[in-house]
Amino acid sequence: MTERLADVSNQIRNIRQLEAVVTALRGIAASRAQQARSLLAGIEAYSTVVCGAISQALSLIPADVRPGSERRRERIGLILFCAEQGFAGAFSERILDASKGDLAGAMTFVIGTRGLAVARERGLIPSWSAPMASHVDAVPSLANEIADALYGRVTARGPSTIQMIVPRSDPAGAIRIEQRSLLPLNLSQFAAASESPPPLTTLKPQELLERLTAEYVYARLCEAAMHAYEAENQARMMTMTAARHNISGRLEALTHREQQLRQEEITNEIVELAAGAEALRERRK
């Protein structure tokens, strides 16, 4: 009985240590998700400014010489923003499930070490991969790295359409998966320029549009990566919250069992003492 009580007490100590680790992970994930949310408004504002600049640049180019937005259906490229670390539930699995219908024949770009491992488990060998940003300050560098990889592979024989599979959390904390078009540039999505005088430029209109397009791609990649970073930490926070609830239930059950065993041990000791006292009285008679 004493050994069983010691075993249960040891389990309680171990689970309490695990609870401390889970609580710390949840706090870190919550802090990172909040930090990412605070930066998203600025990134989205930056994207809006770039879109407005593209609209003005288009006003400098005659409609009959503007770049076309037609899409060849030969092959697509998929950028999959997955998890970098574990303890995020089925986060990466959901990203891959959402893109399952487009994976056949696609050129895939997998972002996230954990997502890469899950992809390989499913038999998917990406054309290119990179670790997901581990902190918000690394998001701009990651966006540049993805853009360089895209430009290095989007050739005459490369993908004709680039799509992004982006996870993002809604105000209620749920994670939803979105598919966003990145390239080619769909000129119809940009609002027509206002009647104000055309902007003064030092570049030829075509060159200006090319540079703004590159800036637009970078802005969209930054936005997608930040949403994915925030969603991964939101998913980890939800997973750790569920784990903490399970731990609390387990601790409650073990604590109750410990009390039972301690009570049984005390009862046995009392019985033994009473039996000893009775035997002593019998001998004295």
Do 221 and 268 fall within a single domain?
A: no
**Residue with tokens 């007490």, as numbered in its chain:** 9
Q: Describe the crossing of helices 113-121 and 91-98 by its angle, rounded to 10 degrees.
A: 60
Do 102 and 130 fall within a single domain?
A: yes
Q: How far from the centroid of its chain's Cα atoms is residue 210's Cα?
A: 31
Do 169 and 253 fall within a single domain?
A: no
Do 150 and 58 fall within a single domain?
A: yes
CATH of residue 218's domain is 3.40.1380.10
Do 270 and 166 fall within a single domain?
A: no
H-run or E-run covering 75: none
Do 167 and 253 fall within a single domain?
A: no
Q: Describe the crossing of helices 139-153 and 205-284 by its angle, rounded to 10 degrees.
A: 130
Do 77 and 151 fall within a single domain?
A: yes
| pLDDT tens-digit profile, the chain (285 residues) | 455 788 888 888 999 999 999 999 999 999 999 999 999 999 999 999 998 888 888 877 766 555 655 545 567 899 999 999 988 889 999 999 988 877 878 899 999 999 999 999 999 999 999 999 999 999 999 999 999 999 888 765 667 789 999 999 887 778 999 999 998 887 777 766 555 666 777 788 888 888 999 999 999 999 999 999 999 999 999 999 999 999 989 888 888 888 888 888 788 778 877 777 777 777 776
Do 170 and 259 fall within a single domain?
A: no
Do 132 and 253 fall within a single domain?
A: no
Count of residues for the chain?
Answer: 285
Do 38 and 170 fall within a single domain?
A: yes
Residues of the domain holding 61: 26-240
Residue type, position 230, single letter: E
Residue type, position 5, single letter: L
Do 260 and 141 fall within a single domain?
A: no
* Domain count for the chain: 2
The closest of 115, 81, 87 to 237, measured between CA atoms, is 87
Do 43 and 96 fall within a single domain?
A: yes
Q: What does the DSSP 8-state code read for residue 156?
A: T
